[in-house]
């Protein structure tokens, strides 16, 4: 069997899925159950979660930021097949939405600052900063706001904002 995969993850739950098997892969016999095991945070995947004819399962009550390992096997009329390789998943979620940034002037530069949003137990490694252009479309300027910064601050020369947004300086 192929290793399980993440269907959905939050700070305190992970929904694990796996590819159903049939035909030769299933020993030419109908699958009766799938047997999902996990490590329960202990490091050894010897705790059974489910033994049923399902292709996904949601585990709740997890500790955000911890990795959990899963493996799955199938059974037919002949018994259980071999376990899949283990798959590790982290209980975390997408970062929260940042608040509206504050914009200020510092000499000839425009400072754009924002509070870092809730990271949901996973380090934020990149921001995407978009500027609204004169046409109404949003554009990036990777020269001054590359998004790879770890602090929530972007410094853009005033004249440059006019050039990549198409807006006048007045």
CB 89 within 8 A of CB 74: no
Q: Is residue 96 part of a domain?
A: no
**Residues 120 and 153 grouped into a single domain:** yes
Q: Is residue 97 part of a domain?
A: no
End residue of a domain, out of 63, 90, 117: 90
For residue 82, give every residue at least 6 positions away whose Cβ sits within 8 Å of its Cβ, in sequence order, or none.
1, 73
- pTM for this model (two decimals): 0.72
CB 72 within 8 A of CB 84: yes
Split into its structural domains, the chain has a count of 2
Cα dihedral 51, 57, 62, 67 in deg (nearest 10): 90
End residue of a domain, out of 59, 90, 121: 90
Minimum mean pLDDT among 4-13, 79-88, 107-116, 148-157: which range? 148-157
The string of pLDDT tens digits covering residues 43-91 is 888 999 999 999 999 999 999 999 999 999 999 999 999 999 999 999 9
Instruction: Choose among 108, 107, 106, 125: nearest CA to 116.
Output: 125
User: What are the tokens at 112?
Assistant: 């754009």
């Amino acid at each position: 069997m192929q290793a399980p995969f993440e269907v959905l993850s939050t700070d305190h739950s992970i929904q694990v899925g796996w590819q159903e098997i049939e035909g030769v892969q299933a020993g030419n016999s109908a699958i009766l159950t799938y047997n999902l095991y996990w490590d329960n945070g202990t490091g050894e995947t010897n705790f059974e979660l489910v033994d049923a004819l399902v292709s996904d399962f949601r585990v709740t009550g997890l500790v955000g930021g911890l990795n959990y390992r899963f493996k799955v096997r199938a059974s037919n009329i002949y018994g259980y097949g071999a376990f899949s390789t283990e798959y590790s998943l982290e209980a975390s979620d997408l970062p929260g939405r940042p608040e509206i940034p504050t914009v200020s002037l510092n000499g000839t530069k425009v400072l754009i600052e924002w509070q870092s949003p809730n990271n949901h137990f996973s380090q934020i490694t990149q921001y995407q900063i978009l500027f609204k252009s004169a046409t109404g479309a949003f554009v990036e300027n990777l020269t001054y706001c590359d998004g790879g910064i770890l602090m929530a601050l972007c410094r853009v020369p005033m004249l440059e904002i006019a050039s990549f947004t198409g807006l006048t300086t007045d």
